[in-house]
Every structure is written in C-alpha cells, then in structure tokens.
Amino acid sequence: MSKKALLGQLDDVDIRRLRVFRAVTEAGGISAAELELNIGRSTISTHIKDLEIRLGVSLCQRGRSGFALTEEGSHIYQATKRLLSSLDEFRAEVGEVHHRLTGQINLAFFDKIVSNPEARIADALKKFDSLAPEVDLSIYVESLNEIERGVIDGRFQLGIIPGHRMSPSLNYHLLFHEKMYLYCGKDHELFHLTETEISTKQILDSKYAGLGYHSPNMEIGRKLGMKRQVTVYEQEAIVHLLLSGCYIGYLPDHYARPFVEQGLIKSIGTKTFHYECEFYAILRRSPKSSRLVKTFLDCLLEEHK
C-alpha cells in the first residue's frame, strides 16, 4: 500500500474509523467486534479499509488465517488509544465547564484483588456512579508493568497496583494491604508434613514458581534466596503449578482460601516465607487529572480510609 507523506487534519469521520479500529483490535477480529459496535461486518470492513487508505498503511491481516495487526498497525493502535483517551479527557473538561461530570474514564486494576476483603473498590464504584451517573467507564485487568506504562502514557487515567519501586512520573495513594504466603499442592512432598517438620532447606530445595516482572514477589524471593525454576506472569498460573504437585509458590491468602478449604493446597514455612503488599491508586503527575478523575480518586480514598 502506498504511503502518504502527511496525514493532514483529522475530522469526525477519521475519529469514528479509529474507534472502530480500536474495537476490532481489542475484540480480536471483525466478527467479534460486531456486537460491541452494533454494526455489520461489511460496514466494519469498509471503515478499516478506508482508514488504511487515509493513513497510507496496512493495519491488519484479516481473512481465513485469522486477524493479526501488522507492525504498522500495532503502532497505530497504541497511538489510537492515546488519542481517544485524550479526547475523552477533553470531553470531561468541557463537562466541568458546565459543572457536569461527563466523559469517559479508563481504569486498570491488578489481577485477583476482588476477593480481598480490604479492597473496597466495588463500594467506590457504587459511590462514584451515584455522583457521576453519565460517565462511561472502561475497566481493564492488566499486569503491574502494563498498568504503570498505561497511566504514564495516558491510556489509563487511574490504575490500582501493588507497590514496589516508585516512579517519579506518578502519584501514589495508599488504599489497602494484601498478605502473601507460600503454598504447595496436595501431591507435593511437603504437603503431609507438619509446619515443624518442614525445614528451610527443604523449601529452598523445592522447585519455585515466581513472577517474572519486578514486584514484591520478585524482591522477597531474592531476599530469601529462592531460585525460580518456573517464571509466570499471572497468579492463576501459579495455582496450576501448585496443583501439579511439582512446585511451590506465593499466593494472596484471600485468593488461596477456597483451594485450601478444598484440601488442594496448604501454606508452608509461614514464619519466614510470607510478606505483605501495599496497594496504591496511581495517577500521572502531569498533566493534572481532570475533576472527573479526582472525583473517582476521592471515592476510592473515602472507602479505604
């Protein structure tokens, strides 16, 4: 596809096409985006094709082999998310001029926190809905690093993450805590031993499954001399490894509880092999947050006093 030297001015039709492109990308294909967009496949295909002509690049491969972004399409997708996020912030600021809370907020939460009794996020959402019923919310569940990057580059207006190293580009607001313990599965050799029978050496000699990104999990593992044999990027993967009977790994106590109650896993080395996480709401320092985002943050802080 021939490339144009300049894009020129964006108009409302371009914005519409970009919204369609974002929806198709996040749905994983044109057919999957039909319900989200409430328009037919042929119309969606036309929007994508017209956008490719407008931008002068091929955005995606589509057909019998499935849907996949091209390298250029991946760059355009990231730029599209930033642009549409900025437009939503603009809408919110215009609403502020008229003393109305309107627009859209993109939120990103760390995984497996809904079962934490200290996490009062649902209560904060309920309070916010009563204050700003016209606001559209988009909520993503992402990894720690992806949430940080997304807040810094403006894709997310607010994120909730476990604290580790602080970024100078972000503001942090403490919300709640989480207790992490080391677990093994029912088929592991340590499962049927009592707490006093399990030595530190036996734990350190066991195959350890740990998170592969900078986090409290990584820090405590290094501090205690635990050598990671399997690298995971999501806590559910740790559960699968525990249930195999071959590995040990850390889980939040609230997330592990139903598996413990079923006799599938148990905590080990609880006097030494445990740690506590602090969870924070994060926002970028600059530009300053809109009144809409500040209102949601106030709801979070009020419910987590």
User: Do 133 and 245 reside in the same domain of the chain?
Assistant: no
* CA angle, 122 then 127 then 130, to 5°: 130
Report percent pLDDT > 90 for the chain. Answer: 59
Helix, strand, or coil here: 72? helix
Question: DSSP secondary-structure letter at 227?
Answer: P
Helix, strand, or coil here: 247? coil
| 3: in domain | no
Instruction: Give the C-alpha separation, 115 to 10, whole Å.
Output: 44
Q: Which of 80, 102, 130 corresponds to the end of one domain?
A: 80
User: Do 163 and 119 reside in the same domain of the chain?
Assistant: yes
Residuewise pLDDT in 10s, the chain (305 residues): 545 545 677 888 888 899 899 989 988 888 888 877 878 888 999 999 999 998 999 998 887 777 899 999 999 999 998 888 788 777 766 766 555 677 889 999 998 999 999 999 999 999 999 999 989 899 999 988 899 989 998 889 999 999 988 899 999 999 999 999 999 999 999 999 999 999 999 999 999 999 887 788 888 888 899 999 999 988 999 999 999 999 999 999 999 999 999 999 999 999 999 999 999 999 999 888 888 899 999 999 999 98
User: Do 29 and 74 reside in the same domain of the chain?
Assistant: yes
User: Do 75 and 187 reside in the same domain of the chain?
Assistant: no
**CATH code for the domain in which residue 24 is found:** 1.10.10.10
Instruction: Give the C-alpha separation, 290 to 302, whole Å.
Output: 18
User: Do 205 and 155 reside in the same domain of the chain?
Assistant: no
User: Do 130 and 164 reside in the same domain of the chain?
Assistant: yes
**CATH code for the domain in which residue 117 is found:** 3.40.190.10
Which pLDDT tens digit goes with each residue over 62-115?
877 778 999 999 999 999 988 887 887 777 667 665 556 778 899 999 989 999
| 243: in domain | yes
Query: Please, are residues 160 and 297 in contact by the beta-carbon 8 Å criterion?
Result: no
CB 99: neighbour CB atoms within 10 A?
Answer: 7
User: Do 167 and 206 reside in the same domain of the chain?
Assistant: no
Helix, strand, or coil here: 217? helix
Query: Please, are residues 31 and 41 in contact by the beta-carbon 8 Å criterion?
Result: yes
User: Do 253 and 291 reside in the same domain of the chain?
Assistant: no
21-29: Cβ within 8 A, 24+ apart: 21/47, 21/48, 21/51, 21/59, 21/76, 21/77, 21/80, 22/77, 22/80, 22/81, 22/84, 24/48, 24/60, 24/67, 25/60, 25/69, 25/73, 25/77, 28/67, 29/62, 29/66, 29/67
pTM exceeds 0.75: no
The token pair at 241 is 């490894």
| 4: in domain | no
User: Do 158 and 290 reside in the same domain of the chain?
Assistant: yes
CB 256: neighbour CB atoms within 10 A?
Answer: 25
Query: Please, are residues 14 and 54 in contact by the beta-carbon 8 Å criterion?
Result: yes
Nearest in space to 219 (alpha carbons), one of 148, 271, 150, 144: 144
| Domain, as residue range, for 233 | 177-277
User: Do 168 and 23 reside in the same domain of the chain?
Assistant: no
| 6: in domain | no
Helix, strand, or coil here: 89? helix
Q: Which amino acid is at 115?
A: S
Q: Which of 43, 64, 80 corresponds to the end of one domain?
A: 80
C-alpha separations of 134 from 159, 188, 292 in Å: 21, 52, 11
User: Do 182 and 270 reside in the same domain of the chain?
Assistant: yes
User: Do 67 and 127 reside in the same domain of the chain?
Assistant: no
Q: Which of 59, 80, 101 corresponds to the end of one domain?
A: 80
Which pLDDT tens digit goes with each residue over 32-55?
888 778 788 889 999 999 999 989
Q: Which amino acid is at 36?
A: E
Domain count, the chain: 3
